[in-house]
Amino acid sequence: MQYISNKPHIMIIATGGTIAGKMNKTDSTTTNYTSGIYTIDTLLSSIPQIHSLAHIHTTQLCNIDSADMSDDIWLSLARCVNKTLSNTLYNAVIITHGTDTMEESAFFLHLVCKSHKPIIFTGAMRAFDSIDWDGGKNLYSALLLAIHRDSQKRGVMLCMNDRILSARYASKIHTSSLESFASPCDLGYIANGAVNFHASCGVLHQPMFDTEMIESLPRVDILYSYANDGSSIAAKALFSNGTQGLVIAGSGAGSVHEVHKQTLQSLIKQGLCVVISSRINQGSVYISEVDSQNGFISSGDLNPQKARVLLTLALTQSNNPLQIATFFYT
C-alpha cells in the first residue's frame, strides 16, 4: 500500500447523522432510532484500530439529523475545513455526516473548499448501537482513503460501503440499504485494506466560490413537476416570500406544464432565477433555445438537489441568468 510517509495527522469533523444515532432499545428495526446522539469520540472508542494508521484529531461541529442541515452549518463547515487544511500539520479531513443530505453538503464543499488535500465524507445506514452498525467500517475505510497518497487533488469524495465516489456525481439511491450511494463512474473502491483508484475516472477539482466572507446564503427552493401541475401557486408563494432562485424538478428531460412555465417566465422577468432539472435519476437536461432566451437555465447532468446547491452559490455572484448559466456549463 502506498501511503504518505510518517504517521499522518487527520482531522475528523463530526456533524451527527445515523452514524452517531441511538436505537430505541424496545425495537429491533433499522429505522427506529434518533440521529446525532453520540459524540465522535464515543464512535472512535469502538474502533481503536484507526490509531495505528494516523494521529486522529476531532471536532464536533454539530450533532444533528442531516435532514436539519442548514446554510449556517454549511458555511461553518466550509470555514472549518479550509482553516484546518491551511494548517501544514493536517494531511486530510474526514467529515461524518447523515446520509440524507450528504450528497448536498459534499457538493457544497466541493465547490468552495480550496485545498487539494483529501476531503472525505462518510456516514452510516445503521445507528451506532445497532447490531449491524456499518459506521465503524466506513470510518476505517475513509481513513485508509484519507492517508493514501493518490487521494490528493480529487476534490471532495464520499466513502461509503467501500465505494469511493466524487461529490460531483454521487447520489443516494436507496432509503435503507447499506449500498445506498452510487454514481455514473466511481472513483475507486477499497478491498482487503487497500485503496484502488480507477485510472479512467478522474475529477478535476476547481473550487468555484469563496464563502469566507459570506454570512448568509440566498434562498433557493425546489419544486417538483407532476401531471396536472398547472396552478403555479407554490412558485408564486415562494417568490413573494423571498425565494431568489427555483430549481424545477421537471418530468422526463426537464418538461414543465405549459401554464406553470408561463408563470415562471413572468417571475423571471421580476427577478426570479429558474433552473430546470429533472426528477429522473439518470440523463441530462437540455433546454430549447427559446427557453434559454426566456431566461431558463439548464442544470445539465445535475440532479435537483445538486442544482440547488450550485444555484445558491451562483446567486452570491450574480442574479443575471446568462452569467449564472455559465456556472452550470463549467
Is 212 among the domain residues?
no
179 and 287 belong to one structural domain: no
pLDDT at 288 over 70: yes
The per-residue pLDDT for 202 is 62
Closest listed residue to residue 239, CA positions, set 272, 206, 209, 277: 272
The per-residue pLDDT for 1 is 46
251 and 190 belong to one structural domain: no
pLDDT at 25 over 90: no
Sign of CA dihedral 130, 134, 137, 139: negative
136 and 243 belong to one structural domain: no
Question: How many CB atoms are located within 10 Å of the residue 79 CB?
Answer: 14
The per-residue pLDDT for 232 is 86
- State what percent of residues in the chain have pLDDT above 90: 88
35 and 151 belong to one structural domain: yes
The per-residue pLDDT for 248 is 97
37 and 100 belong to one structural domain: yes
pLDDT at 28 over 90: no
Q: Active site residue: 18, 96, 122, 263, which one?
A: 18
Is 262 among the domain residues?
yes
176 and 288 belong to one structural domain: no
55 and 192 belong to one structural domain: yes
Q: What band does 203 get if pLDDT is binned at 50, 70 and 90? A: low
The per-residue pLDDT for 243 is 97
Domain holding 154, by residue range, is 9-197
Structural domain ending residue among the three candidates 166, 197, 228? 197
Distance of alpha carbon 32 from the chain centroid: 24
Report the pLDDT averaged over residues 90-115. Answer: 97
The per-residue pLDDT for 204 is 62
d(CA 21, CA 34): 5
d(CA 311, CA 289): 20
pLDDT at 215 over 90: yes
192 and 243 belong to one structural domain: no
165 and 256 belong to one structural domain: no
Mean pLDDT over each residue of the chain, to the nearest integer: 93
Q: What is the pLDDT of residues 5-20, one digit of tens each?
A: 589 999 999 999 999 9
Q: What band does 238 get if pLDDT is binned at 50, 70 and 90? A: very high
The total domain count for the chain is 2
Is 203 among the domain residues?
no
Do residues 18 and 125 touch, judged by C-beta distance below 8 A? yes
The answer to whether residue 18 is catalytic is yes
CATH code for position 45: 3.40.50.1170
67 and 160 belong to one structural domain: yes
Report the pLDDT averaged over residues 54-67. Answer: 97
Q: What is the pLDDT of residues 145-194, one digit of tens each?
A: 999 999 999 999 999 999 999 999 999 999 999 999 999 889 999 999 99
Report the pLDDT averaged over residues 269-294. Answer: 94
pLDDT at 4 over 70: no
Written as one string, the DSSP assignment of 259-282 is HHHHHHHHHHHTT-EEEEEESSSS
Report the pLDDT averaged over residues 220-232. Answer: 90
Q: What band does 330 get if pLDDT is binned at 50, 70 and 90? A: confident
pLDDT at 44 over 70: yes
125 and 33 belong to one structural domain: yes
